[in-house]
């Protein structure tokens, strides 16, 4: 190759390299109030996936933690608040599925926090935390950090808070999370930066110690409906509205989006009422009235779907559960009708008990979720999952575990992928629209 060709080749390589940097999908982007929603083990996430043969194996492993998540959600529905002991422990990521990139403090310290629609509080590991990951928030490095004592209204709004009967002291709280883990934290205030929005005086927990395997390594961002959630603290900035579009777990290179506030939300979107449980106001309940498999409306007694604030029964939309779980009688009725319409034999794969030869996939009927005023026909990619070899297709739903207060049906993130899910808490409605989230 002569000098001219060498120079041209070098220039081309330099151009390609600079272009790749310019369009780096993992670079921090500021687009109004939009944040990237990143699969926990995607390219743009800092977290390393467990050693698995394929993304399907990773999803199966993640779904195996769902029973612990449902235990946690059932506890929330029953409004049980208990102080939990804290002991240092090795931390492994179990229940987190999607993270968002935020900055805390001044100057901003970047954290990848787990998105959780069924939790109100936000918390991050802080310097000196026992049992936490190596990435922590340094309170001493922030010029805008403020402390909160027990006299502050925010303290009593956090589950598991601990304060003396008399006198003033720092607000401490203990919480369980994910069913098998716990944390101890101090309540503080500091600025939080979300895309181009800066919210001063944001209240969150500064974790001092963790125990168990489910505490998100770089923290949690609660998007529930309670008084201390991000949505409530932001007040008029976001007007009680947010939406997300979750990308498929199998799309390693892509991220979805979290839109905060009414601007940029779909103008034409089908909605169903959000229901409020006064005993656990953070959960997003909806009225699931039935399920169809193909053209058959599955015979489900209404009392198995009914919303009951006293028991916590009903159906919620949750970002932290992997596969949709129905109470046992409801799931068995759906599964049995599905099996009637597909040629067996059937086998199990992880949490999935209705797997069949992928060559029969063309026979698989669509699953339709019927809500008040809205019917959602799930795309086949949201109702079937394939084995890593591709030889099996499985119904990607399961029954809620029987060993807990199994009254909740949970519409999980595998069934929400590639849909825009909008939460409008002021008008008490949930919207769903099709959208390619990648």
Residues labelled catalytic: 116, 318
> CA-to-CA distance for 324 and 331, rounded, in angstroms?
10
What residues does 77 pair with on adjacent strands? none
> CA-to-CA distance for 357 and 347, rounded, in angstroms?
9
> CA-to-CA distance for 59 and 70, rounded, in angstroms?
17
> CA-to-CA distance for 380 and 395, rounded, in angstroms?
10
Q: By the 8 A CB rule, do 341 and 363 touch?
A: yes
> CA-to-CA distance for 273 and 286, rounded, in angstroms?
6
Residues 336-362 as b/e (b if ≥16 CB within 10 A, e otherwise) read ebbbeebeeebeebbbbbbbbebeeee
Which phi-psi region, left, alpha or beta, contains residue 79 (left: φ > 0; alpha: ψ -120 to 50)?
left
> CA-to-CA distance for 188 and 206, rounded, in angstroms?
7
Query: Is residue 10 packed enough to be buried (19+ CB in 10 Å), middle (13-18) or exposed (0-12)?
Result: exposed
User: Within 10 Å of residue 407's Cβ, how many Cβ atoms?
Assistant: 16
> CA-to-CA distance for 150 and 88, rounded, in angstroms?
25
């Amino acid at each position: 190759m002569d000098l001219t060709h060498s120079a041209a080749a070098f220039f081309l390589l330099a151009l390609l390299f600079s272009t790749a940097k310019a369009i780096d999908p993992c670079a921090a982007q500021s687009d109004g109030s939009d944040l990237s929603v990143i699969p926990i083990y995607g390219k743009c996430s800092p977290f390393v996936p467990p050693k698995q043969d394929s993304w399907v194996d990773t999803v199966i492993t993640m779904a195996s933690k769902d029973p612990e998540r449902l235990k946690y959600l059932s506890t929330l529905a029953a409004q049980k608040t208990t102080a939990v002991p804290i002991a240092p422990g090795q931390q492994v990521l179990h229940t987190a599925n999607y993270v968002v990139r935020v900055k805390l403090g001044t100057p901003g310290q970047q954290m990848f926090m787990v998105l959780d629609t069924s939790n109100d509080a936000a918390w991050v590991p802080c310097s000196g935390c026992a049992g936490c990951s190596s990435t922590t928030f340094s309170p001493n490095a922030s010029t805008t950090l403020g402390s909160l004592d027990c006299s502050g209204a925010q303290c009593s709004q956090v589950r598991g808070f601990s304060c003396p009967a008399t006198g003033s002291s720092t607000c401490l709280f203990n919480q369980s999370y994910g069913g098998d883990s716990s944390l101890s934290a101090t309540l503080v205030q500091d600025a939080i930066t979300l895309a181009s929005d800066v919210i001063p005086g944001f209240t969150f927990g500064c974790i001092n110690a963790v125990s168990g395997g489910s505490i998100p390594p770089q923290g949690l961002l609660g998007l529930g409906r309670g008084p201390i959630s991000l949505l409530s603290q932001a007040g008029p900035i976001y007007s009680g509205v947010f939406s997300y579009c979750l990308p498929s777990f199998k799309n390693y290179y892509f991220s979805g989006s979290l839109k905060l506030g009414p601007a940029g939300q779909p103008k034409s979107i089908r909605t169903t009422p959000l229901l409020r449980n006064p005993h656990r106001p953070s959960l997003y309940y909806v009225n699931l009235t039935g399920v169809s498999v193909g053209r058959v409306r599955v015979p489900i007694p209404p009392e198995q779907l009914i919303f009951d604030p006293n028991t916590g029964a009903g159906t919620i939309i949750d970002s932290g559960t992997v596969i949709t779980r129905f109470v046992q009688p409801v799931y068995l009725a759906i599964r049995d009708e599905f099996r009637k319409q597909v040629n067996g034999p059937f086998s199990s794969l992880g949490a999935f008990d209705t797997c069949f030869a992928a060559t029969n996939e063309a026979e698989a009927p669509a699953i339709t979720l019927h809500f008040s005023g809205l019917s959602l026909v799930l795309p086949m990619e949201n109702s079937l999952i394939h084995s890593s070899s591709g030889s099996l297709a499985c119904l990607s739903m399961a029954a809620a575990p029987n060993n807990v207060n199994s009254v909740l049906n949970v519409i999980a993130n595998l069934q929400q992928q590639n849909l825009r899910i909008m939460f409008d808490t002021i008008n008490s409605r949930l919207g769903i629209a099709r959208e390619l989230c990648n």
